[in-house]
Structure 1
């Protein structure tokens, strides 16, 4: 993952969406730096299954679903669930940093390629659950929202693990 860079203050729509999405991706990676597998598996508070490692796995599923399955129309299963259950990403019984980050980074690479190859932000894909076509623009905005929300969770999780706070 690239080091976190602040998004530009001015730019075109696509450049800004790309920069903000990458900023949030890098923020998640930054919140996990320097932690052991056990620390990454530490739950926020039982009975919640929320962990930093679970967030990384969940966001790999999100990247895969929105970019590969929706925008690119690929007929592929989720990373950790053949049944389409997003919650299985939070089952950390056999999860490690290396497998979670490898999957997440691979899905981010696919997403970046799909976005860069798209003719415009108006390219559409079909969301079966919504029974609607959505634009790449909406997908990028949705992912920015998803990462921003989960990075808030990551802030609290990291503070609870070792007291680290900050951007």
Structure 2
């Protein structure tokens, strides 16, 4: 289901120009399709790289402390090709980390606070995260060119 949701986001973004991918939903919202891609890049890196593999030094690509929305939704000058490349790389890394786990009961530790999360919990959370943002993506895509659906 997580892979289905990743593919859904890719489909929502397919066939659009860089300017269309940067188009915001409505002012003052910063929500855009490429912003969602950038946000989900850091979500992948956070949950799989920092938590599950316990690699606290896994850098976020866009998140910056103190920046509104962490800066992943600041896309006026976003390099669309690079954003997709980084997202695909983060997803591939997440798959490798998941594949290396002995079971869905493998646990990782959240670096800030020390809470423990199982792979099962992380996968469920990621499905929910993508599903919610795919709903946003559906509305954004409909606004751009009228296309809806998976």
Q: TM-score with structure 2 length normalisation?
A: 0.93
Whole-angstrom CA distance in 2 between matches of 1:50 and 1:161 = 13
Could you give the per-residue CA deviations for residues 105-138 of structure 1, whole angstroms, max 9, x where no partner exists? 0000000000011111111111244541110110
Structure 1: which 5+ runs fail to align? 1-19
- Per the alignment, residue 63 of structure 2 pairs with 81
1:41 aligns with 2:28: no
Point out which structure has higher relative CO (alpha carbons under 8 A, 6+ apart): 2
- Per the alignment, residue 135 of structure 2 pairs with 152
Structure 2: which 5+ runs fail to align? none
Give structure 1 regions of 4+ aligned residues with deviation exceeding 6 angstroms: none
More off after superposition, 25-34 vs 76-85: 76-85
Q: How many residue pairs were aligned?
A: 148
Whole-angstrom CA distance in 2 between matches of 1:166 and 1:141 = 22
Which of 93, 114, 132 aligns to 2:115? It is 132
Q: Is the 8 A contact 1:57 1:90 kept in 2?
A: yes
What do you get for the CA RMSD once the two structures are aligned?
1.5
Q: Is the 8 A contact 1:126 1:132 kept in 2?
A: yes
1:52 aligns with 2:33: yes
